[in-house]
């Protein structure tokens, strides 16, 4: 895309849908919003058909607010719950076949680098545990082995939520689900360690209990992917339908899981650390100057 | 007929905390007005998940949000 495509041609304002006009006037294109300002600007993602109280929807909402450069970002998704909200956002969205998101993203990122050599274009894959760790496992792994420069975010609801509740490789051991009544016999895949071994330069595991931290992790992953190589975020986004969590207690569940197996974890290579510290120092200085 | 969240703006304005807005899963559903220092709900977008009630009542003990029934024509 790019900013010139976002702006409305003069004279056409009154023919454009209200939501679009709001997006251009009060949205986040062309300026950097802080995630703590949520609720005070028009968000990129619109109303979506995800279930009430879905924390995957919450993660996606924070993800779009945290994007460092939404007008130059392309998001890829695949079959699964996440695509229902991803496709409702004002950021180009590509729907890969089940499992091939990382292969599509590899080609796309390479093509964008050739087509726009003087611009930074971010490519971000957001897919579920089935799309990345079960069915798309091979393509995810190989994109990391090749060192492709884009971000992969796994929104892990630990179940195939769209198709009635089959167990996935990421379901915890022993859990009984609607379409897996015998209980899962194997351990949860350790995706974070796999990513580290496979060559990711920045790896994080989070539970969505702190919007500021989610935003920080997402921005770091995108910045690191621009320069160094693949980055990976493993986010716990519970499925309140298949795991029968009352909607009121979804955040409580996320907080409890954070204390158990979804403790915040962040790992990066030394050169990435230096690079990110430099960027964050510059951002802080800029923010200070704006306050003055 | 279904439930939506409603903010007691008079109570909410005392705290100026904005935490419910930060934890709502729906985009632009719970919003924040600078003028009154209070959160407000865009009723058409609310799916009635009560996460904001959990944040306001159970976590912060401020009891500013309650669920109300929406009738046709509201």
Tell me, yes or no, if B54 comes closer than 8 A to chain A by beta carbon: yes
Cα dihedral A221, A225, A231, A233 sign: positive
Number of structural domains found in chain B: 1
Q: How confident is the model at residue A7 (pLDDT cuts 50, 70, 90)?
A: confident
Q: Which domain holds residue B22?
A: 2-70
| pLDDT for residue B73 | 62
| pLDDT for residue A1 | 64
Q: How confident is the model at residue A74 (pLDDT cuts 50, 70, 90)?
A: very high
**Which of A47, A247, A251 is opposite residue B23, by nearest beta carbon?**
A251
Q: Give the residue extent of every domain in chain A.
A: 50-291
Burial label, B48 (beta-carbon count in 10 A; 0-12, 13-18, 19+): middle
pLDDT tens-digit series, residues A46-59: 999 999 999 999 99
| pLDDT for residue B70 | 86
Q: What is the mean pLDDT of chain A?
A: 93
Instruction: Verify whether the Cβ–Cβ distance B27 to A247 is below 8 Å.
Output: no
Could you tell me the fold of the domain covering A50-291? Rossmann fold (3.40.50)
- The answer to whether A291 and A285 have CB atoms below 8 angstroms apart is no
| CATH code of B31's domain | 3.30.70.20
* B49: nearest CA partner in chain A: A53
Q: Which one has a higher pLDDT value, A9 or A109?
A: A109
ipTM summary value? 0.94
**Which of B18, B25, B50 is opposite residue A39, by nearest beta carbon?**
B18
Partners of A74 in the beta sheet?
Answer: A123
Above 90 in pLDDT, residue A144? Answer: yes
What residues in A contact B58, CB-CB < 8 Å?
A: 252
Q: How confident is the model at residue A18 (pLDDT cuts 50, 70, 90)?
A: confident
* Beta strand segments in A46-194, E: 73-77, 93-95, 122-128, 151-156
Give the integer Cα–Cα distance in Å for B56 and B58: 6
Share of chain A above pLDDT 90, in %: 82
Instruction: Verify whether the Cβ–Cβ distance B49 to A53 is below 8 Å.
Output: yes
**Which of A35, A42, A58 is opposite residue B28, by nearest beta carbon?**
A42
Nearest Cα to Cα of residue A148 among A219, A211, A201, A81? A201
Instruction: Verify whether the Cβ–Cβ distance B48 to A52 is below 8 Å.
Output: yes
Residue whose token pair is 């695509």:
A83
């Amino acid at each position: 895309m790019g900013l010139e495509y976002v702006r409305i041609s003069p004279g056409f304002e009154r023919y454009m849908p209200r939501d679009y006009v709001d997006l251009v006037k009060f949205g986040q294109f062309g300026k950097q919003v802080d995630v703590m300002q949520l609720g005070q600007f028009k968000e990129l993602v619109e109303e979506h058909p995800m279930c009430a109280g879905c924390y995957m929807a919450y993660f996606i909402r924070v993800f779009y607010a945290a994007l460092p450069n939404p007008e130059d970002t392309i998001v890829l998704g695949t079959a699964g719950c996440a695509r229902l909200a991803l496709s409702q956002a004002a950021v180009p969205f590509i729907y890969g076949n089940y499992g091939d998101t990382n292969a599509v993203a590899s080609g796309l990122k390479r093509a964008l680098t050739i087509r726009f050599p003087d611009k930074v274009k971010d490519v971000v894959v957001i897919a579920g545990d089935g799309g990345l760790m079960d069915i798309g496992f091979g393509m995810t792994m190989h994109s990391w082995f090749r060192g492709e420069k884009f971000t992969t975010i796994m929104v892990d609801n630990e179940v195939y939520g769209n198709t009635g509740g089959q167990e996935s490789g990421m379901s915890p051991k022993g859990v009984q689900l609607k379409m897996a009544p015998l209980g899962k016999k194997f351990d949860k895949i350790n995706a974070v360690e796999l990513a580290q071994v496979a060559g990711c330069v920045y790896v994080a595991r989070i539970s969505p209990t702190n919007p500021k931290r989610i935003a920080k992790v997402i921005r770091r992953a995108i910045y690191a992917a621009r320069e160094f190589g693949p980055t990976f975020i493993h986010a716990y986004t519970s499925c309140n339908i298949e795991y029968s969590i009352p909607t009121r207690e979804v955040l409580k569940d996320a907080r409890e899981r954070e204390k158990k197996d979804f403790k915040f974890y962040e790992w990066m290579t030394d050169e990435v650390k230096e690079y990110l510290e430099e960027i964050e120092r510059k951002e802080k200085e800029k923010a200070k100057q704006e306050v003055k | 007929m279904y439930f939506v969240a409603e903010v007691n703006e008079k109570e909410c304005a005392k705290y100026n905390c904005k935490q419910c807005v930060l934890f709502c899963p729906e985009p632009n559903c719970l919003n924040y007005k600078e003028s009154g220092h209070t959160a407000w709900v865009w009723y058409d977008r609310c799916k009635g998940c009560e996460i904001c009630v959990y944040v306001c009542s159970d976590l912060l003990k401020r009891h500013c949000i309650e669920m109300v029934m929406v009738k046709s024509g509201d």
